[in-house]
Structure 1
Amino acid sequence: MESPHLMNTLSNVIHKLQKKGLGNDFKWNHKGFTLDGKKYYQPHELSIIKIYRFEEFTNPDDLCVLYLIETNDHMYGYILDTYGVYMNHTGDFNNALRLIPERQHDDQLLFEL
């Protein structure tokens, strides 16, 4: 297991997810969350496995959160949520994201990159 200070960048975490086959990026539109643009998932069909938070040291107003997601049909990927000057999501996205159930803290601790 890597020490936390080596896993502190967004690019490092995405790279680790890709190596484990979990690097699929969920996209959002009015139909829901999708990995391929064909099948759409509603929040109740998803589960947040783990949450990673990243803060830009040069500008604390720039924050992003990566949510590692599992679908009800066992597909895996992540949702990247940005804040600050890079925010590009609508209120609908934020509302849908809040509806995704989060695994218990103990379950999150079992998942390692």
Structure 2
Amino acid sequence: MDNEFAKHEKDYMKTYEEKGYTAGFHFKEGKLLGNDSSNVYEPADLTIVAEHRYEGMSDPSDMSILYIIETNKGEKGTMLLGFGPNSDLELSEFFNSIPESQISDKANINLDEN
């Protein structure tokens, strides 16, 4: 597999969707909620299985991070966060609270040997 999958978040998101990471999530009142489910998640309920960071082409301070996540209820999906000076601090803190033991690169498409 080509190591340089994509230049933009949307390209990575599409590739992960093809691998079954189709759930969408939103953040509300300190919790992550499944868009198509009634599931509510705390940091301990999530596992980050890959992450990708991006810098803006025209403004390096325009950064984002794409988290590929699996939940304790079987949902698999992605969550895109602003990163840097323009980030949502509460959402960033939520993701920073995910236990270190629940963070890996096991689904990272750049490490896929296929």
TM range (shorter): 0.7 to 0.9
Contact conserved, 2:27 with 2:91, CA < 8 A, in 1?
A: yes
Over 3 Å counting, the alpha-carbon distance change for 1:59 and 1:101 in structure 2 is same
**Number of residues paired by the alignment?**
108
Over 3 Å counting, the alpha-carbon distance change for 1:50 and 1:31 in structure 2 is same
Matches within 5 A, 1:1-113: 1-4=1-4, 6-30=5-29, 32-36=31-35, 38-83=38-83, 87=86, 89=88, 91-102=89-100, 107-108=104-105, 110-113=106-109
Contact conserved, 1:32 with 1:41, CA < 8 A, in 2?
A: yes
5+ residue gaps, structure 1, are none
Instruction: Map Cα deviations across residues 14-40 of structure 1 (whole Å, 9 max, x no partner).
Output: 111122221322210115111236210
Over 3 Å counting, the alpha-carbon distance change for 1:44 and 1:94 in structure 2 is same
TM-score (norm 1): 0.79
In structure 2, the residue corresponding to 1:58 is in which secondary structure? coil
> More helix per residue: 1 or 2?
1
Over 3 Å counting, the alpha-carbon distance change for 1:70 and 1:54 in structure 2 is same
5+ residue gaps, structure 2, are 110-114
RMSD of aligned alpha carbons: 2.4
In 1: Cα distance, 2:102 partner to 2:71 partner:
16
TM-score (norm 2): 0.78
4+ residue segments displaced more than 6 Å: none
Contact conserved, 2:47 with 2:71, CA < 8 A, in 1?
A: yes
